[in-house]
Amino acid sequence: MRKPERFRRFLDYFTTHFPEPQTELRYGNPYELIVAVVLSAQCTDKRVNHVMPALLEQFPTPAQLALASADNIFPFIRSISYPNNKAKHLAGLGRMLVDDFGSEVPSTIEELQRLPGVGRKTANVIVSVIYNQPAMAVDTHVFRVSHRLGLVNKTATTPLAVEKELVRYIPLVLIPKAHHWLILHGRYICVARTPKCEICPLKGFCKYYITNFGQPAAEDLNAATTPSI
């Protein structure tokens, strides 16, 4: 199967069955989202959602975060992965939001990447979720699922290479949604160790499945036509 056909089937499936995907991080404004996304690096959204209310009660705005030291922030995020580094990042992030951006979360990838703790992936999430721009954040789920499905070539060995291939084939208007579709599919169905191929509705065109198990029988496909997420 050629790549454009594979993309077409991927997009058709999710557009039909899951037209309005959302991030699972809870947030009320851009400041809260950027704090949550910084905390979510190598940590589950569930755990981040658990610590956010107390953290935001103490530091509800960039101005309050800017006044905090890493030591002040640490107790609120101690159960998150890499709490020392993330506490330092958040303290620096608060100060830079206030000093350089008028307490607003910037809207360009270049400006966002100046903030402590914000790499290209985090910046893409912010511009995609908050500003609805066509940016594809490639995390471990997006990377894995894109490769298994055969949406990207084997030679795409870095997140940036995967990002470039995906945005080449996905219509701009669908890129923010496709980001969520790939993440959620990777989180719940196409999981890292043992993908749940038996219940996956994408196996009819999935490169990994067809390579390892052959083309699925019609009854298998019919059994897997429920929404995957």
Tell me if 206 contacts ligand SF4 by CB under 6 A.
Answer: yes
Considering CB under 6 A, how many residues would be counted as binding ligand SF4? 13
> Which range in 16-24, 109-117, 121-129, 197-205 contacts ligand SF4 by CB under 6 A?
197-205
The one catalytic residue among 86, 88, 121, 203: 121
Tell me if 14 contacts ligand SF4 by CB under 6 A.
Answer: no
Tell me if 166 contacts ligand SF4 by CB under 6 A.
Answer: no
> Which range in 86-94, 118-126, 135-143, 204-212 contacts ligand SF4 by CB under 6 A?
204-212
> Which range in 17-25, 95-103, 130-138, 196-204 contacts ligand SF4 by CB under 6 A?
196-204
Count CA within 13 A, CB hemisphere, residue 225: 8
Q: Is 121 a catalytic residue?
A: yes
Query: What does the alpha-carbon distance between residue 172 and residue 147 come to, in Å, rounded to a whole number?
Result: 20
Instruction: Print the binding letters for residues 115-154 with ligand SF4: x by CB under 6 A, - otherwise.
Output: ---------------------------------xx-----
Selected from 86, 89, 177, 203, the binder of ligand SF4 by CB under 6 A is 203
Residue 206 annotated as binding?
A: yes
Query: Are the C-beta atoms of residues 146 and 166 closer than 8 Å to each other?
Result: yes
Tell me if 74 contacts ligand SF4 by CB under 6 A.
Answer: no
Annotated binding site for [4Fe-4S] cluster: 190, 197, 200, 206
Binding site for ligand SF4 (CB under 6 A): 148-149, 189-190, 195-197, 200, 202-203, 206, 208-209
The catalytic residue positions are 121, 139
